[in-house]
């Protein structure tokens, strides 16, 4: 998984479908990122932030009791232990450092459940930047605690009242807002979506998950490489970062989507938020609403690199239901003492199903990214107990 080809293309997907002023701003972000990523000084500064502030490297934990029950050897890459509770911090620290290097004084971000907004507000506070976070009005009601966390961190939270008043609309609004302020503000996209260079840049900032996991597997496993690598897919950033570490190995890559938000498994080609990719849409090409019990998976599409990996057959994309995910969350809590985010529980639900139906051979090794912790989901989970 290297650089995209000309003009930010992953095969036929990707690109930069944006108004002219944003195309120019994206060019500036791309030039700045290329230069920074080739600079050992930038890499060193980011590595230090990830260690001292975000708690990296995160452990690779053998799930001993659950493995025994399932008949496979399951290892968990513990992004739930990263600062602010998920992998999102890896990306925002990279982009905040880049924004400061570009002389920008403010971060703009969109957020659904509030996890990316909280991470962006955290990175902004750490580096002395301002933060403006766009959030659907409906999500603000559902995720009041994260709204408060963002305000506590000094961010301005802007309610979005258009459309379904959720993540898709917050993203559109954040992009519209950026048009007028590209000179002093950096748009910090939260996943491997959006116009080039975001899908590529965000994957590079999340690659730390896969690189660490690869080295940890090399030390832990007799074969050095797991048979299977599994991650949940919303926009696809934790999966892209995970897969990047194993792309050149024989490991089978599986992305797990929510049944009601399966952009990669069931979407059709289209353009949304500046990128050509796979989206849920009707016969007129209108984007249809996504649904998932996990707010972080509640997005009607998937990043262009996943569309490409699916096309190549290098990764496969499968789905699980809300009930399967909730059941997996409870099972992990009771076998391993870990309450996972409902997003991450999707990946585990597929592992449980696949171990049961023989899709995962007995005794095979599985490296699964546990993208976040479940504190934010307690009110949802308590209804199910």
Ligand X SMILES: *Cc1c(COP(=O)(O)O)cnc(C)c1O
Note the residues at the interface with ligand X (CB under 6 A).
86, 88, 115, 191, 232-239, 296-297, 341, 343-344, 371-372
126 touches 96 (CB < 8 A):
yes
Residue with smallest beta-carbon separation from ligand X: 372
- The residue annotated as part of the active site, out of 30, 110, 324, 336, is 110
Largest CA distance in the chain: 56
Neighbours of 29 (CB within 10 A): 23
Instruction: State in angstroms the smallest separation of the CB of 219 from ligand X.
Output: 25
88/276 with CB nearer ligand X: 88
Instruction: State in angstroms the smallest separation of the CB of 170 from ligand X.
Output: 13
87 touches 237 (CB < 8 A):
yes
Is 376 annotated as catalytic?
Answer: no
Instruction: State in angstroms the smallest separation of the CB of 373 from ligand X.
Output: 8
Is 371 annotated as catalytic?
Answer: yes
Cα–Cα nearest to 289, from 302, 277, 275, 279: 279
100/262 with CB nearer ligand X: 262
Within 38-166, residue ranges assigned H as helices are 40-52, 64-70, 88-101, 115-127, 137-142, 144-152
94/296 with CB nearer ligand X: 296
Instruction: State in angstroms the smallest separation of the CB of 192 from ligand X.
Output: 6
The CA radius of gyration of the chain, in Å to the nearest whole number, is 19
Side by side, which strands form the sheet with 185-187? 156-160, 130-136, 106-111, 185-187
Cα–Cα nearest to 93, from 101, 145, 152: 101
Backbone phi, psi, residue 371, to 5°: -70, -25
97/345 with CB nearer ligand X: 345
- The residue annotated as part of the active site, out of 88, 191, 212, 259, is 88
Instruction: State in angstroms the smallest separation of the CB of 94 from ligand X.
Output: 14
Residues, the chain, total? 385
341/352 with CB nearer ligand X: 341
Cα–Cα nearest to 208, from 6, 51, 362, 39: 51
Hey, which residues are catalytic here?
A: 88, 110, 371
């Amino acid at each position: 998984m290297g650089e995209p080809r000309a003009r930010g293309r992953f095969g036929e997907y990707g690109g930069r479908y944006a108004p002219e002023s944003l195309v120019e701003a994206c060019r500036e972000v791309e030039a700045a990122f290329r230069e920074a990523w080739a600079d050992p000084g930038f890499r060193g500064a980011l590595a230090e932030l990830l260690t001292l502030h975000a708690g990296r490297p995160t452990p690779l934990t053998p799930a001993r009791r659950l493995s025994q029950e399932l008949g496979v050897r399951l290892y968990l890459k513990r992004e739930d232990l990263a600062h602010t509770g998920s992998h999102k911090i890896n990306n925002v620290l990279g982009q905040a450092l880049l924004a400061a290097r570009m002389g920008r004084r403010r971060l703009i971000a969109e957020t659904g459940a509030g996890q990316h907004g909280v991470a962006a507000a955290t990175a902004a506070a750490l580096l002395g930047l301002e933060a403006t976070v766009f959030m659907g009005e409906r999500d603000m009601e559902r995720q009041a605690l994260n709204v408060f966390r963002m305000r506590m961190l000094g961010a301005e939270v802007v309610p979005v009242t258009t459309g379904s008043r959720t993540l898709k609309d917050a993203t559109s609004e954040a992009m519209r807002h950026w048009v007028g302020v590209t000179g002093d503000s950096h748009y910090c996209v939260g996943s491997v979506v959006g116009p080039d260079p975001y899908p590529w840049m965000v994957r590079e900032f999340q690659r730390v998950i896969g690189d660490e996991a690869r080295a940890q597997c090399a030390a832990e496993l007799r074969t050095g490489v797991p048979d299977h690598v599994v991650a949940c897919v919303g926009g696809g950033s934790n999966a892209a970062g995970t897969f990047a570490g194993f792309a050149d190995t024989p490991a089978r890559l599986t992305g797990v989507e929510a049944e009601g938000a399966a952009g990669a498994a069931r979407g059709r080609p289209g353009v949304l938020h500046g990128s050509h990719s796979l989206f849920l849409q009707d016969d007129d090409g209108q984007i249809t609403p996504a649904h998932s019990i996990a707010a972080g998976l509640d997005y009607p599409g998937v990043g262009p690199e996943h569309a490409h990996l699916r096309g190549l057959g290098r990764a496969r994309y499968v789905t699980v239901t809300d009930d399967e995910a909730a059941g997996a969350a409870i099972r992990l809590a009771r076998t391993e003492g870990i309450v996972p985010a409902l997003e991450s529980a999707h990946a585990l639900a597929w592992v449980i199903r696949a171990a049961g139906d023989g899709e995962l051979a007995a005794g095979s090794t599985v490296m699964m990214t546990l993208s976040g912790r479940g504190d934010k989901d307690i009110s949802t989970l308590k209804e199910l107990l």
